[in-house]
Amino acid sequence: MTEFSLFEKKLGLKFANKDLLTQAFVHRSYLNENPEFGLDQNERLEFLGDAVLELVITVHLYQEYPNEDEGQLTNWRAALVNAKMLTTVAEELGFNDFLLLSRGETKELGKARQYILANTFEALIGAIYLDSGYEPCDVFIKKYLLSRLPEIIQSKSYKDAKSHFQEEAQEKAGVTPMYKVVKEWGPDHKKEFTVAVFLGKEMVAEGKGYSKQEAEEEAAKAALIAKQWAA
């Protein structure tokens, strides 16, 4: 496909199997409207890419930061592979111009689109791995994602809201926060969750997200504000 040859050139990729690259951008909604398309949707590639992404980043952190403990390395890795970071990188690399979506999904922006972009980034990593192996994945991830790490460390943005709220809750209230899913809705490929965070029996705040982890993070952010512990 001409469009994807432009994508390859822009990102310095060279696929032997062009179908793998195309498939990485196929959202399941597209196949609902185009059942004869001939390629599968990208969720299996996303599953594979998620594991490759985590391995590449884990190996890099382990080798480059020998004096840091497991907890710190885990925080840095989480900051690199979370949906917000993957979405930011995907947007900057122009993924939106190549997504294969249904007409309805094309109109949806906001968090729904962010979720799709993050998943597509992982699917692309899976496609690169199947097409060319580990080394090109390593090069790609270091160039476009791990290059963000110095900024993350300097700004301390790896300190996620859940960790912050837990530290504050244990210090100020002597309680460890508990998270509970209070509502979930939507189709399997676009399920949404509402999670409440509790300190003991007190419900402090709620958060929504396209995964339980995202909803917990949003609940923690809201709880920090509610308790005036955000500073």
pTM, whole model, 2 decimals? 0.74
Would you call 69 a catalytic residue per the annotation?
no
For the chain, the structural domain boundaries read 2-155, 161-226
Whether the CA torsion 60, 21, 39, 26 is positive or negative: it is: positive
pLDDT at 67 over 50: yes
135 among known catalytic residues: no
Per-residue confidence (pLDDT) for residue 3, from 0 to 100: 82
42 is in an annotated binding site: no
The whole-number pLDDT of residue 231 equals 59
> Residue 2 pLDDT > 60, yes or no?
no
Judged by DSSP in three states, 192 sits in strand
pLDDT at 162 (0 to 100): 85
Provide mean pLDDT across the span 61-80.
Answer: 90
**Is 229's pLDDT higher than 90?**
no
Alpha helices in the chain (DSSP H): 2-11, 18-23, 28-33, 43-64, 70-81, 83-92, 103-107, 110-132, 134-144, 149-155, 161-172, 212-226
Q: Is 119 annotated as a binding residue?
A: yes
How confident is the model over 91-101, as pLDDT tens digits?
999 999 999 99
Nearest to 166 by CA among 180, 179, 155, 177: 177
Of 3, 105, 122, 202, the catalytic one is 122
Choosing from 3, 19, 33, 50, the catalytic residue is: 50
Residues 73/61, Cβ–Cβ less than 8 Å: yes
Mean pLDDT of 26-38: 92
The residues, ordered by sequence, that sit 6+ positions from 123 with a Cβ below 8 Å of its Cβ are: 23, 24, 25, 42, 43, 45, 46, 49
Highest mean pLDDT among 2-6, 30-34, 55-59, 152-156: 55-59
CB atoms within 10 A of CB 18: 13
Q: Give me the DSSP letters along 3-29.
A: HHHHHHHHHT---SSHHHHHHTTB-HH
pLDDT at residue 154 tops 90: no
What class is the 161-226 domain? alpha beta
Q: Find out whether 8 is annotated in a ligand binding site.
A: no
Instruction: Indicate the CATH number for domain 2-155.
Output: 1.10.1520.10
Average pLDDT, the chain: 90
Residue 129, pLDDT score: 98
Q: How confident is the model at residue 107 (pLDDT cuts 50, 70, 90)?
A: confident
- Give me the amino acid identity at 154: Q
What tens digit of pLDDT does each residue of 193-213 get? 999 999 999 999 999 988 888
Report, as an integer, the average pLDDT of 45-68: 96
pLDDT of 31 higher than 60: yes
Residue 1 has pLDDT above 50, yes or no: no
End-to-end CA distance of the chain: give it in Å, rounded. 50
